[in-house]
């Protein structure tokens, strides 16, 4: 194919927004720009901008692998600037992984690509159509090219990134797919670094369906801030926070001594995204020169988040964990599994859930081999065979067997094969995605009544709601002080602290009380669902924000003290402070929150119009929560499952807080009008009627 290069025009900018959206159609090889001014600042950026574009351009849904499916890569308002944590971008499209319908959904990606796209002068990129042969996109400020990518097709993600970096003289940041994306796996990821990926959603398969191997960008501009001194002062205050509540930075000298003794390379800690001022060991662990357990070579790369569970269980882990994660790999072997899955471009969340389901099936006598190879989860060689089979849809000998089904994701495979469907339903909470911070999955240290908030968040989302889930979990982290208390006096003090924090953060002391049951759970779920929009659209890090919990404060509430030029700032107000300082908008906290609610409600309206989504569909996730929780609240002494009768009024309240009617869960005309979305109501209702007639 011939290359296509266009010099696109500039538009009057409105810092920190560039006022340009780059539009590329791979079917007719056209490149153009449009102004983003009609959507900014009302829709903030990132998923807000994506939702409005989807609403205007897609009155009906499209199939995920159809050329019309828009692959949107959209940074946040402050992405690419000197604002703290402002490196992330959202990737949005109709999701191949989603079920029962391919919702228009999202994933988030870190490192430097989003910032580079903004510095090149774009508020977002929208790719439609499909090329006949493999292509890549190269963005160099105003110069945009569609180039052949035959030489990259077939390479894994890391080799592709290295080839692009070398070929473009080390000046580009790139998004790439691996073999899984090329073969349209519904759990294929998009990568921009060794473990920085758009994981959930299957968007690597969307790129593969377009024959789009890579997107590279080199931006030489900068993203100006309205009040850089205020932003810098907030960044310095944030840098003084503890570095990683979940996983504090370890003693790297001691760890590297252990690794040297094992012959397992070296480790370092680095931020998972541009602008991070508090790098943590959960997302920032990077290893170099680790010998393979299967392949005769050394591996380097990041090892973070869910992939840490590839080691399986240890001798000191409690029985419930051993029952679910019933395997054990050495550090060397687990790191190799992590690297291979990243190189193939596979969703590690789904892989772990898939393994839990397959282990359960194996124990039930339903399956014993994959493509003729006995299932041995303690064997690194079997893991390598397993991953290759999924990524390529066949094993090394070309046998398809289970590979083609597993490439669809664990939940879809179980139901396609009619293999242990009930066992898969215990791992996959809903929408085709596995449980996460919901109290019913093997890697979730969450118990009743805290997972009631997670149930509401799952019920209203299109995917695993980890960004909203982390917020409440971080806020309620002080429950462990109560669980670990040894005396009645210690328990009383810890409980009172949780109640005080619940009152201050959510306006109700029962919001974090471990004895509160179903009371005061609707508002925290609503609050963090809206805050998740803010996290994506500013953007900031969901492992840090919103800043609510402080283990050193008497009432557990976070306050940034004596911020230069600003004074004291309550933790939950920091995002508003960053946004207004960066944009120069004189928005009140209420106006800022209203913009986030606008995005959240428009996303809901899109689901209603496309599929007639309603309360009945929402409640599809409830059977997962009706099962007994994974671990009991130690203060209550028994394992709980969700009680629908007690949950129903909580759901009513949750809908009411959003401005959705209780019967159907649809945004009301009044709420849409209040949010500046009066034009949405009539087409939403008309589309819902048509969608529900299709559903019967």
Residue 53's contacts (CB-CB under 8 Å, 6 or more residues apart) are 21, 39, 70, 72, 126
Q: Residues, the chain, total?
A: 696
Give the integer Cα–Cα distance in Å for 54 and 60: 10
φ/ψ of residue 302, rounded to 5: -80, 155
Which tokens in the block code for residue 119? 């510095």
Which tokens in the block code for residue 673? 């009008």
Q: In terms of CATH architecture, what is 4-218? A: 4-Layer Sandwich (3.60)
Question: Tokens 């959003």 correspond to what residue?
Answer: 658
Residue 187's contacts (CB-CB under 8 Å, 6 or more residues apart) are 97, 180, 202, 346, 347, 350, 351, 390, 407, 408, 409
Across the range 116-143, mean pLDDT stands at 98
- pLDDT of 483 reads 86
Least confident of 339-343, 544-548, 685-689: 544-548
Highest mean pLDDT among 393-397, 536-540, 549-553: 536-540
Q: Are 646 and 517 in contact (CB under 8 A)?
A: yes
Task: Give the residues across from 147 on adjacent strands.
Answer: 136
Residue 546 pLDDT > 80: yes
- pLDDT of 415 reads 95
Q: Using pLDDT thresholds of 50, 70 and 90, give the confidence band for residue 281.
A: low
Nearest to 62 by CA among 96, 14, 30, 24: 96
Q: For domain 233-430, is the CATH number 3.10.129.10?
A: no
Q: Is 549 left (phi over 0), alpha (psi -120 to 50) or beta?
A: beta
Q: Where are the beta strands (DSSP E) in 509-599?
A: 559-563, 567-570
Q: Mind listing the pLDDT tens digit for each residue in 624-633?
A: 999 999 889 9
More confident residue, 397 or 558: 558
Give the integer Cα–Cα distance in Å for 18 and 20: 5
Task: Give the residues across from 71 on adjacent strands.
Answer: 127
Which tokens in the block code for residue 344? 């193939």
DSSP string, 420-457: SHHHHTTTEEETTEE--SSSSSTT----TTTHHHHHHH
Q: Beta strand pairing status for 4-7 and 143-148?
A: antiparallel
Domain locations in the chain as residue ranges: 4-218, 233-430, 435-695
Q: Mind listing the pLDDT tens digit for each residue in 560-570?
A: 999 999 999 99
Residue 132 pLDDT > 60: yes
Across the range 610-615, mean pLDDT stands at 97
Q: Are 35 and 13 in contact (CB under 8 A)?
A: no
Task: Decide: pTM greater than 0.75.
Answer: yes
- pLDDT of 435 reads 87
Of the CA atoms within 13 Å of residue 146, those in its CB half-sphere come to 26
Which tokens in the block code for residue 619? 């409640």
Q: Which ranges in 274-429 belong to alpha helices (H)?
A: 319-324, 331-344, 348-363, 380-392, 403-406, 410-417, 421-424
CATH placement of domain 435-695? 1.10.599
Q: Are 650 and 517 in contact (CB under 8 A)?
A: no
Least confident of 379-393, 468-482, 507-521: 468-482
> pLDDT over 90 for what percent of the chain?
79
Q: Are 406 and 354 in contact (CB under 8 A)?
A: yes
Residue 422 pLDDT > 60: yes
Q: What share of the chain is helix, strand, coil (3-state, %, to 5)?
A: 40, 15, 45
Across the range 356-360, mean pLDDT stands at 94
Helix (H) or strand (E) holding 108: strand 104-109
Q: Do 435-695 and 4-218 have the same topology in CATH?
A: no
Least confident of 161-165, 260-264, 461-465: 260-264
Helix (H) or strand (E) holding 670: helix 669-674
Which tokens in the block code for residue 90? 């959202």
Residue 443 pLDDT > 70: no
Task: Give the residues across from 559 on adjacent strands.
Answer: 570
Q: Mind listing the pLDDT tens digit for each residue in 224-256?
A: 999 999 999 999 999 988 755 545 566 788 888
Across the range 5-19, mean pLDDT stands at 95
Which tokens in the block code for residue 38? 């009609």
Nearest to 677 by CA among 56, 92, 17: 56
């Amino acid at each position: 194919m011939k290359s296509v290069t266009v010099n696109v025009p500039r538009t009057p900018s409105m810092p920190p927004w560039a006022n340009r959206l780059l539009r590329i159609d791979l079917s007719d090889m056209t490149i153009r720009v449009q102004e983003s001014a009609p959507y900014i600042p009302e829709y903030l950026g990132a998923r807000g901008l994506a939702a409005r574009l989807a609403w205007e351009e897609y009155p009906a849904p499209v199939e995920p692998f159809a050329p019309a499916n828009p692959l949107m890569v959209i940074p946040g308002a402050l992405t690419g600037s000197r604002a703290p944590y402002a490196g992330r971008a959202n990737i949005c499209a109709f999701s191949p992984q989603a079920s029962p319908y391919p919702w228009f959904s999202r994933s988030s990606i870190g490192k430097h690509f989003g910032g580079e796209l903004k510095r090149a002068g774009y508020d977002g990129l929208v790719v439609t159509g499909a090329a006949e042969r493999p292509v890549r996109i190269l963005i160099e400020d105003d110069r945009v090219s569609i180039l052949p990518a035959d030489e990259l097709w077939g390479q894994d993600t890391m080799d592709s990134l290295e080839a692009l970096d070398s070929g473009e003289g080390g000046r580009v940041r790139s998004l790439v797919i691996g073999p899984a994306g090329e073969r349209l796996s519904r759990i294929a990821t998009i990568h921009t670094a060794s473990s920085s990926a758009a994981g959930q959603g299957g968007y690597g398969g969307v790129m593969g369906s377009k024959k789009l191997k890579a997107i590279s960008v080199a931006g030489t501009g900068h993203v100006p801030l309205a009040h850089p001194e205020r932003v810098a002062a907030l960044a310095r205050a944030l840098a003084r926070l503890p570095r990683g509540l979940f996983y504090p930075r370890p003693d790297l000298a001691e760890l590297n001594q252990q690794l040297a003794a094992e012959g397992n390379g070296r480790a370092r800690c680095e931020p998972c995204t541009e602008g991070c001022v508090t790098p943590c060991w959960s997302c920032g662990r990077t290893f170099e020169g680790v010998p393979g357990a299967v392949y005769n070579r050394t591996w380097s790369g990041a090892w973070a988040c869910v992939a840490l569970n590839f080691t399986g269980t240890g001798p000191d882990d409690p029985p419930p964990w051993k029952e679910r994660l019933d395997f054990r790999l050495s550090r060397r072997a687990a790191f190799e599994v992590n690297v291979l899955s990243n190189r193939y471009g596979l969703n590690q969340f789904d892989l772990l859930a898939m393994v839990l389901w397959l282990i359960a099936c194996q124990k039930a006598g339903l399956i014993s081999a994959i493509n003729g190879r006995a299932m041995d989860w303690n064997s690194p060689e079997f893991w390598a065979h397993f991953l290759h089979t999924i990524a390529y849809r066949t094993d090394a000998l070309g046998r398809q067997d289970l590979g083609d089904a597993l490439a669809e994701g664990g939940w879809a495979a179980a139901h396609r094969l009619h293999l242990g469907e009930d066992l898969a339903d215990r791992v996959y909470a809903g929408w085709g995605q596995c449980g996460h911070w919901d109290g019913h999955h093997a890697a979730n240290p969450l118990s009743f009544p805290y997972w009631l908030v997670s149930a509401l968040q799952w019920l209203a989302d299109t995917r695993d709601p980890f960004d909203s889930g982390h917020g409440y979990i971080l806020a309620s982290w002080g429950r462990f002080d109560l669980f670990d208390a040894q005396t009645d006096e210690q328990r009383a003090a810890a409980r009172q602290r949780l109640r005080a924090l619940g009152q201050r953060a959510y306006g109700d002391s029962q919001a974090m009380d471990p004895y509160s049951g179903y009371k005061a759970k609707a508002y925290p779920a609503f609050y963090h669902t809206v805050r998740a929009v803010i996290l994506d659209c500013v953007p900031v890090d969901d492992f840090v924000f919103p800043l609510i919990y402080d283990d050193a404060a008497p009432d557990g509430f976070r306050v940034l003290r004596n911020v230069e030029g600003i004074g004291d700032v309550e933790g939950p107000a920091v995002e508003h402070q960053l946004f207004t300082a960066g944009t120069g908008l004189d928005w009140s906290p209420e106006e800022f929150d209203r913009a986030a609610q606008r995005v959240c409600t428009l996303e809901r309206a899109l689901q209603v119009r496309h599929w007639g989504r309603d309360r009945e569909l929402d409640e599809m996730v409830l059977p997962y929560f009706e099962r007994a929780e994974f671990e009991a609240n130690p203060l209550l002494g028994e394992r709980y499952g969700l009680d629908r009768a007690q949950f129903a009024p909580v759901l009513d309240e949750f809908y009411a807080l959003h401005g959705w009617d209780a019967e159907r869960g649809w945004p009301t005309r009044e709420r849409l009008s209040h949010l500046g979305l009066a034009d949405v109501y009539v087409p939403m209702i008309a589309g819902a009627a048509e969608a529900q007639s299709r559903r019967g």
